[in-house]
Amino acid sequence: METPSTKSTLPLSEIAPIHHNHTEQNIANLIEAICGIDFSRDIDNCTSKSRTRHSPAKNDERPAAVLYPKTTAEVSKVVKACHERDIAVTSFGGGTSLGGALTATRGGICIDFKYMDKVVEVHEDDLDVVVQPNVGWVELNQMLEGKGLFFPPDPAPGAKIGGMIAMSCSGTNAYRYGTMKDWVISLTLVLADGTVVKTRNRPRKSSAGYDLTHLIIGSEGTLALVTEAVLKVTALPQNLHVGMASFGSLQDGVDVAVKILKSGHLLEAIEFLDGPSMGAIAQSGLIRETVEVAPTLFVKLAGSPQTVKEQMQFVAQLFSDHGANKVEFSHERRRIEAIWGVRKCLANALVTMKNDPSDLFLHTDAAVPISKMAELIHRSEKIVRGSAEGRNWFCASVGHVGDGNVHTAIICPQDAKGEAEKLLSGVQRLALELDGTITGEHGVGLKLTGLLADEVGDSGVDLMRKIKLALDPKCILNPDKVVRLEMDV
């Protein structure tokens, strides 16, 4: 690779070998160079920064040190020092990632954003806030509520803004409010060589050059680290109501969801859990509610009293037409929290379905155009349920049906890994066949690098790799995520 390529893409076969230097001496030298910045070399601490409950890592996949910078300047100092010493850099926020995006595959060091957790500015008139990366969306909304404001993206409750940007996340509000991509105005970045870039000021719109903000959203820490973000916020939904109903069949639940989507009524959220999901919740001990173990729709409504009344009548009629049981609508805060709490505890409830702690929790994140959603749910069900029958597997489907995003989950013994993964990969291919994506909101991480080319083509992956190498020529930022960097990794 001596003569610079004139190509627009970089195939895996043409990438030069990557050299990191993670010797003890080099790490010690780094720690010395960044004196004044807190760090930890405790093995348990280091290990905990490289995995989550939902994304395990191999035993030796951990950083050699965890660093705790407190400012953009300190992050820049750390990254620059790593760049000079060929040391890989992962980062850690809420630790809720699902696809291995924070695994320290090659060791190196981890930047824990723990101390960068401040809301820096709130501009009520401009409907924006300036925050550091370790602000949680739950805490941000608690703070905004008193001002009548609201930040919509709602992934796992522990998620932090930095990770939410990295993964281009969404959640149950995405059907109404869009995803993280729609809620970021600008970013302060630390690039792979330590350079600091602020992508924009605070105007609501700008055509000032390349959209660096959106290039970084969803780049999973592989192109830059985010040290500050300007986020849009909006008015808190008024007159909030929540509804819940269970159905005799999967078909009925899906039919009701599709009819709501096609009606033109714009609800706040529409979520769908299948029978096994509800069973997991019922058995989990995580909630006090008594729930039906049957396919269940959850809806949120808000707006003027007239709007909510019309929407509620429409939805209630559909529920009734499809023989729904245990229908409840409520606008009492306590009931809203209880009902939505049923939906929100699902991820934790599924984990309790393991027969053995070593069992695997595997899942997909397929999203398709709305018109194809019913087909995705039915055919996924067939693929998974058909093969799982008679085995000691637990299988469930949960849909952000408002935006066509469906998670299919399998919990199975470790020795069934290959087979279960093959089934889920069939579901992902089905999503592509239906003009959709292999990942609606969880990101590529380590898990989907192999499948990404099925979605965007080899040329799409090679273009991403070209961008990766341009911005991070030494491949120190979160290596091996999004695009593969070596033939045999």
Site residues (CB under 8 A) for a second copy, limited to 294-323: 304, 306-307
Q: Which two tokens stand for residue 8?
A: 């627009």
As measured in angstroms, the least distance from the Cβ of 430 to a second copy is: 12
Closer residue to a second copy (CB): 212 or 281: 212
- Is 97 buried (19+), middle (13-18) or exposed (0-12) by CB count in 10 A? buried
Asked if residues 254 and 372 have their Cβ atoms less than 8 Å apart, the reply is no
Closer residue to a second copy (CB): 23 or 459: 459
As measured in angstroms, the least distance from the Cβ of 317 to a second copy is: 19
Among 18, 81, 223, 229, contact with a second copy (rule: CB under 8 A): 223
- Is 196 buried (19+), middle (13-18) or exposed (0-12) by CB count in 10 A? middle
Closer residue to a second copy (CB): 8 or 13: 8
Among 245, 342, 444, 446, contact with a second copy (rule: CB under 8 A): 444
Q: Is 282 in the site for a second copy (CB under 8 A)?
A: no
Q: Which residues contact 300 (CB under 8 A, 6 or more apart)?
A: 172, 237, 240, 241, 242, 243, 267, 268, 269, 340
Asked if residues 220 and 166 have their Cβ atoms less than 8 Å apart, the reply is yes
CA dist 161 and 455 (Å) reads: 27
Q: Is 122 in the site for a second copy (CB under 8 A)?
A: no
Q: Which two tokens stand for residue 91?
A: 């980062």
- Quick one: which of 113, 168, 82 has its CA closest to 479? 82
Closer residue to a second copy (CB): 324 or 347: 347
Q: Is 483 in the site for a second copy (CB under 8 A)?
A: yes
Residue showing tokens 């910078």: 69
Q: Is 441 in the site for a second copy (CB under 8 A)?
A: yes
- Quick one: which of 442, 365, 449 has its CA closest to 97? 442
Q: Is 239 in the site for a second copy (CB under 8 A)?
A: no
Q: Is 78 in the site for a second copy (CB under 8 A)?
A: no
Among 21, 206, 251, 284, contact with a second copy (rule: CB under 8 A): 206
Per-residue contact string for residues 454-473; x = within reach of a second copy by CB under 8 A? -xxx-xxxxxx-xx-xxxxx
As measured in angstroms, the least distance from the Cβ of 325 to a second copy is: 29
Per-residue contact string for residues 335-374; x = within reach of a second copy by CB under 8 A? ------------------------------x-xxxxx---
Closer residue to a second copy (CB): 50 or 186: 186
Q: Is 452 in the site for a second copy (CB under 8 A)?
A: yes
- Judged by CB under 8 A, the chain residues 174 through 193 that form the site for a second copy are 174, 178-179, 181-182, 191-193
- Judged by CB under 8 A, the chain residues 376 through 395 that form the site for a second copy are none
Residue 272, Cβ neighbours under 10 Å: how many?
Answer: 26
- Judged by CB under 8 A, the chain residues 399 through 418 that form the site for a second copy are 403-405
Among 198, 331, 335, 378, contact with a second copy (rule: CB under 8 A): 198
Asked if residues 64 and 20 have their Cβ atoms less than 8 Å apart, the reply is no
Among 41, 214, 265, 335, contact with a second copy (rule: CB under 8 A): 214
56 Rama class: left (phi>0) / alpha (psi -120 to 50) / beta: beta
Residue 234, Cβ neighbours under 10 Å: how many?
Answer: 13
